[in-house]
């Protein structure tokens, strides 16, 4: 993945982080409400781990919003990134060898996630 793209999980993490901060909820409290460790929640929010459907809805409940509202915000963020020339992709799953053979560079993925975070932060203010 090149540095000018990001993943759906990274975008969802940024959307959740922004909502969580707007509501004044700490990561540890969010993790507790979702039934995961703070470290696990941190990996989800940073885009290092992918959300399951269950976790997506638990996050919405923890934020006291409807799941449809959360997915609407995610879709809007993805559309804004695409309009701004930042493709949002699903990363290859599997072992590191397959990822390396496909040209996926974890460092580039994190840079793309950072770019996404910056853009979304600017768009949501």
pLDDT value at residue 65 = 96
pLDDT digits (tens, 9 = 90+) for 76-125: 999 999 999 999 988 776 554 555 555 555 544 455 556 565 556 655 65
Measured distance CA(78)–CA(20) in Å, rounded: 19
pLDDT value at residue 68 = 94
Task: Report whether 83 contacts 90 (CB < 8 A).
Answer: no
Pick the residue with more confidence: 68 or 114?
68
pLDDT value at residue 18 = 94
CA separation (Å) from 60 to 13, 38, 49, 87?
12, 17, 17, 25
Written as six digits, the tokens of 9 are 């999980």
Tell whether pTM > 0.95. Answer: no
Can you list the domains of the chain with their CATH numbers?
6-123 (1.10.260.40)
Q: Measure the CA angle with vertex 47, ends 75 and 27; round to 5°.
A: 100
pLDDT digits (tens, 9 = 90+) for 5-62: 899 999 999 999 999 999 999 999 999 999 999 999 999 999 889 889 999 999 999 9
Measured distance CA(84)–CA(119) in Å, rounded: 9
């Amino acid at each position: 993945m090149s540095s000018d793209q990001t993943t759906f999980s990274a975008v969802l993490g940024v959307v959740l982080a922004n909502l969580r901060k707007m509501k004044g909820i700490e990561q540890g409290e969010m993790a507790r409400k979702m039934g995961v460790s703070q470290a696990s929640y941190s990996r989800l929010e940073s885009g290092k781990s992918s959300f399951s459907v269950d976790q997506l809805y638990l996050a919405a409940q923890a934020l006291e919003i409807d799941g449809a509202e959360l997915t609407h915000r995610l879709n809007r963020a993805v559309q804004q990134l695409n309009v701004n020339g930042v493709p949002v992709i699903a990363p290859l799953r599997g072992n590191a060898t397959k990822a390396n053979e496909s040209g996926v560079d974890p460092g580039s993925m994190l840079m793309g996630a950072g770019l996404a975070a910056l853009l979304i932060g600017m768009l949501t203010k």
